[in-house]
Amino acid sequence: LSQRVHMNNLESDSFIDYAKMKSTLDVVRSRLQRPLLYAEKVLFSHLDDPTQDLERGKSYLRLRPDRVASHDATAQTVFLQLMSAGLTDTKTPMTVYSDHLITARVEGIEDLGTAWGENREVWNFLSSACAKFGVGLWKPGSGIFHQVLLENYAFPGGLTIGTDSHTPNAGGLAMCAIGVGGGDTVDVLAGLPWEVKQPKIFGVRLTGRLNGWATPKDIVLKLAGLVTVKGGTGAIMEYFGPGVDTLSCTGMATICNMGAEIGATTSIFPFTDSMYDYLVATKRSEIAEYARLYADDLRPDPESESSYDQIIDIDLSSLEPHINGPFTPDLATPISEFARTVRENGWPEKISVALIGSCTNASYEDMSRAASIAADALDHGMPKSACKLTVTPGSELIRGTIERDGQLSTLKKIGGIVLANACGPCIGNWDRFDMPDGQDNSILSSYNRNFAGRNDGNAATHAFVASPELVVAMSLAGTLLFNPLTDDLKVGDKSFRLQPPSGRSLPSNGYKATSDAYQEPPQDRRDIEVIIPTDSNRLQAIPPFPAWNGHNAVNMPILIKTKGKTTTDAISAAGPWLKYRGHLDNISNNLLIGATNAENDRKNKITNVLTGKTGAVPATAREYKAKNLPWVVIGDNNFGEGSSREHAALEIRHLGGFAVIARSFARIHETNLKKQGVLSLTFVDESDYERVHADHRIDILCKDIAVNTPLTMVVRPKDGDPFDLQLHHSLNEAQIEWFKEGSALNAMAKGTAT
Ligand code: F3S
């Protein structure tokens, strides 16, 4: 079998070496003596030490990822942390994608120009930092992280981490791709192994074949409805079964992308022929052939099925299109029941804006199938969509190709406004002129995430997600009550029924080459200086956090007791705040402003226990900090769900938070808190959440903190006797070191990180 091949067409010094991965895996095979699942093969072939403990849900795997990826909002902090730790180089190949900072206002070209005016100092900083650290940079307008990664860097059997929760998109090309916080990224870039609790592995067995209006998106929308937003927590979703071979590579990427919405560590498909075709189409034939040589290692072993921790069955042949939402991605409704559900719930029936694209659904196939619906409507004389329609291509490669092949002009003919190849409304970076804040309205998108306020900052916007085909079809009618499978559209006095969508998964004439999208790092980087303007309100060096004083933490106020969903959007809002990602003090003014206060059901209205006055959360935290008074947050279930946003942890630390005590945590946020030296604790008895109130004071007896040993919390009511509660923590030895040193970065700088 052949020796290594280049990992991509852009880096001359990074390689795929399946033979080496195989030999690491063989060590594990000889130990476990059982057939392996595909996800296990990928993880185990990247072990730093293949003789380490391996127990799902218990052991911490120490892994050597092949790559690291980041975007222009998260990369700022990554570089600032690398600089703060005194590093000058990166030990693992990394790329940065400039996709998050472009605000959607008018249309793509104009918006990109405006964004340059607004973000020049940040993009210049990233350009200089990428050059300094030897990192490849995808320039503004080149495309969205996950699409560009799929087009250029993902490969079967590979392991990548990325500072974005939709990094798992690359599972569509059989890569194990995991969303992490910036702290984990810094570890890997510094040459340390990446540590993660060994996930469980859930199998999703696909049988049959999609037909009619059903799409890959509907597979994951259905799955989200079956397992809920917490259903994948601590697990990898591994797809298997005969239905897998019927899907396109980009369709599988859509499914893996939205695995983030069920809290999965990642999602992954085994290597298939459609992945081979995609690699060839994206000019990576050498990798495609190489993967075929090692194909046995790029799929689960025969007879391994009994090793799944759980199996979920989905029959593609009978799958209906779904629409999920509003306000949560696991509220799944089949299209046949959707109109009735809308009426019963009193959701706004009129679609105010329909949006297609984003990293989830902006492939050539998606755009082609969406355009086929538009073409059908135009053929029947329909002049335009009944509501505003926006189109976000996933990358310049896609945009250029669908411009050449005609899909873009078809979508424009029905009124589609082509936005920049960037996140825009998906991350709330959307200057929405058409809807006053607070007004109830419905939007329908082919995006992935639909928490309140996510897209336009308006908590009254009911955001629904569906396939791009369905979004375009429903935009023609302009109402959520329209079912294109059973209802007719009207043009004048004639009516017609739309044909089911159709379209190729790959362009028959190949993808149209792009130019000026990528900045290659220079060979000689010694004289490059990283640019941080001293008077910037966007960029600020991160000073080290103080080390723990070694004592129990006593008499701490509760900053806020949150209720229900406290997503990372609620802890550190995006939208207009995105621009402060490189300036910790400024962005901290959004701390927890979206969280619901359990005491009064209001947002950003809490009582300052020192003054008794009602105030905003960030301002109150600053007042406690100014008095050297550490505080805690009490959280509900799955605290920090949603994204890898490390500012959600950094801000808590920066403004003086000592601990977050919750019923349960989302995985990435919990790790992020640990990295920043904040204790993440859970109630041993979940119902104790009810016994703690915002006017109580808290002691945490952490002086002798040790692995696997619960901590005692003393709760001191204002009037009444103190009482004790027991708290779990999940810190291992290394993580306790982070807590003691004040942060993982401090431990690394001191050389106590391992
Ligand atoms: Fe961007 Fe939305 Fe994807 S924010 S990376 S397009 S999930």
Domain extents for the chain?
A: 5-200+216-317, 321-496, 553-750
The pLDDT of residue 327 is 95
Q: Beta strand pairing status for 15-16 and 235-240?
A: unpaired
Answer whether 358 contacts ligand 1 (Cβ < 6 A).
yes
> What spacing in Å lies between the alpha carbon of 427 and ligand 1's midpoint?
6
Candidate list 66, 72, 111, 164, residue with the active-site label = 164
Q: Beta strand pairing status for 494-496 and 697-701?
A: unpaired
Indicate which atom in ligand 1 lies nearest the CA of residue 169.
3
* Over residues 272-294, mean pLDDT: 98
Task: Measure the CA–CA gap between 131 and 125, rounded to whole angstroms.
Answer: 10
> What spacing in Å lies between the alpha carbon of 546 and ligand 1's midpoint?
34
| Distance from the Cα of residue 641 to its chain's centroid | 10
Indicate which atom in ligand 1 lies nearest the CA of residue 146.
5
Identify the burial level of 97 via C-beta atoms within 10 angstroms of its C-beta, where 0-12 means exposed, 13-18 middle and 19 or more buried: buried
Angle 643-648-651 from CA coordinates, rounded to 5°: 165
Is residue 432 among the annotated active site residues? no
Indicate which atom in ligand 1 lies nearest the CA of residue 426.
2
The pLDDT of residue 146 is 98
- Topology of the domain comprising 5-200+216-317: Aconitase; domain 3 (3.30.499)
Using the predicted structure, report yes or no on whether residue 751 has a pLDDT greater than 80: no
Answer whether 359 contacts ligand 1 (Cβ < 6 A).
yes
Answer whether 430 contacts ligand 1 (Cβ < 6 A).
no
**Residue 241: which pLDDT band, with cuts at 50, 70 and 90?**
very high
Answer whether 166 contacts ligand 1 (Cβ < 6 A).
yes
The pLDDT of residue 752 is 57
> What spacing in Å lies between the alpha carbon of 359 and ligand 1's midpoint?
5
Query: Same topology for domains 321-496 and 553-750, yes or no?
Result: no
Q: Closest Cα to atom 2, ligand 1: which residue?
A: 426
Is residue 369 among the annotated active site residues? no
Find where tokens 């998108």 sit: 445
Find where tokens 């505003």 sit: 388
**Residue 379: which pLDDT band, with cuts at 50, 70 and 90?**
very high
For a substitution probing ligand 1, which of 70, 101, 164 has the most ligand atoms within 8 Å of its CB?
Answer: 164
Length of the chain measured in residues: 754
> What spacing in Å lies between the alpha carbon of 144 and ligand 1's midpoint?
7
Residue 69, phi then psi, degrees to nearest 5: -135, 150
Identify the burial level of 637 via C-beta atoms within 10 angstroms of its C-beta, where 0-12 means exposed, 13-18 middle and 19 or more buried: middle
Indicate which atom in ligand 1 lies nearest the CA of residue 145.
5
The pLDDT of residue 753 is 54
Answer whether 164 contacts ligand 1 (Cβ < 6 A).
yes
Answer whether 423 contacts ligand 1 (Cβ < 6 A).
yes
Architecture of the 321-496 domain: 2-Layer Sandwich (3.30)
The pLDDT of residue 331 is 96
Q: Closest Cα to atom 4, ligand 1: which residue?
A: 427
* Over residues 627-647, mean pLDDT: 92
Task: Measure the CA–CA gap between 373 and 446, rounded to whole angstroms.
Answer: 15
Answer whether 144 contacts ligand 1 (Cβ < 6 A).
yes
The answer to whether the Cα torsion of 344, 567, 201, 684 is positive or negative is negative
Task: Measure the CA–CA gap between 592 and 595, rounded to whole angstroms.
Answer: 5
Is residue 343 among the annotated active site residues? no
Answer whether 448 contacts ligand 1 (Cβ < 6 A).
yes
Region of poorest pLDDT, from 34-38, 88-92, 176-180, 445-449: 88-92
**DSSP character string of 428-441:** T-B---SS-TT--E
**Residue 542: which pLDDT band, with cuts at 50, 70 and 90?**
confident
For a substitution probing ligand 1, which of 163, 165, 359 has the most ligand atoms within 8 Å of its CB?
Answer: 359
Give the model confidence (pLDDT) of 171-209 as tens digits. Answer: 999 999 999 988 889 989 988 899 898 999 999 999 999
**Residue 750: which pLDDT band, with cuts at 50, 70 and 90?**
confident
Q: What share of the chain is helix, strand, coil (3-state, %, to 5)?
A: 35, 20, 45
Is residue 26 among the annotated active site residues? no
Candidate list 64, 449, 653, 697, residue with the active-site label = 449
Q: How far is CA 629 from CA 32, 550, 616, 700, 717, in A?
A: 51, 16, 17, 14, 18
The answer to whether the Cα torsion of 515, 516, 519, 523 is positive or negative is positive
Give the model confidence (pLDDT) of 417-442 as tens digits. Answer: 999 999 999 998 999 888 999 999 99
Angle 55-58-63 from CA coordinates, rounded to 5°: 75
Give the chain's count of helices (H) and strands (E): 22, 32
Using the predicted structure, report yes or no on whether residue 2 has a pLDDT greater than 80: no
The pLDDT of residue 264 is 95
Using the predicted structure, report yes or no on whether residue 574 has a pLDDT greater than 90: no
Answer whether 427 contacts ligand 1 (Cβ < 6 A).
yes
Is residue 693 among the annotated active site residues? no
Q: What 3-state class would DSSP assign to 659? A: strand
* Over residues 336-347, mean pLDDT: 98
* Over residues 474-491, mean pLDDT: 98
Sequence-ordered list of residues with C-beta below 8 angstroms from that of 285, at least 6 positions apart, any chain: 279
Give the model confidence (pLDDT) of 217-238 as tens digits. Answer: 999 999 999 999 889 988 999 9
> What spacing in Å lies between the alpha carbon of 148 and ligand 1's midpoint?
12
**Residue 543: which pLDDT band, with cuts at 50, 70 and 90?**
confident
* Over residues 370-396, mean pLDDT: 97
Largest CA distance in the chain: 79
* Over residues 629-651, mean pLDDT: 92
Indicate which atom in ligand 1 lies nearest the CA of residue 260.
7
Q: What 3-state class would DSSP assign to 156? A: coil
The pLDDT of residue 85 is 79
Candidate list 46, 67, 71, 100, residue with the active-site label = 100
For the chain, give the mean pLDDT. 95
Q: Closest Cα to atom 3, ligand 1: which residue?
A: 359
* Over residues 293-315, mean pLDDT: 97
For the whole model, what pTM was predicted?
0.88
Answer whether 102 contacts ligand 1 (Cβ < 6 A).
no
Identify whether the C-beta of residue 129 lies closer than 8 Å to the C-beta of residue 168.
no
Answer whether 145 contacts ligand 1 (Cβ < 6 A).
yes
Is residue 164 among the annotated active site residues? yes
Give the model confidence (pLDDT) of 92-142 as tens digits. Answer: 999 999 999 999 999 999 999 999 999 999 999 999 999 999 999 999 999
Q: What is the edge-to-edge ordering of all strands in the sheet holding 441-445?
A: 332-334, 322-324, 461-465, 441-445, 351-357, 388-392, 416-418
Indicate which atom in ligand 1 lies nearest the CA of residue 99.
1
Using the predicted structure, report yes or no on whether residue 625 has a pLDDT greater than 60: yes
Indicate which atom in ligand 1 lies nearest the CA of residue 427.
4
> What spacing in Å lies between the alpha carbon of 423 and ligand 1's midpoint?
5
Candidate list 645, 647, 653, 654, residue with the active-site label = 645
The answer to whether the Cα torsion of 498, 499, 504, 509 is positive or negative is negative
Using the predicted structure, report yes or no on whether residue 279 has a pLDDT greater than 60: yes
For a substitution probing ligand 1, which of 261, 447, 644 has the most ligand atoms within 8 Å of its CB?
Answer: 447
Task: Measure the CA–CA gap between 103 and 114, rounded to whole angstroms.
Answer: 8
Q: What 3-state class would DSSP assign to 203? A: strand
Identify whether the C-beta of residue 122 lies closer than 8 Å to the C-beta of residue 28.
no
CATH numeric code, 553-750: 3.20.19.10
Answer whether 426 contacts ligand 1 (Cβ < 6 A).
yes
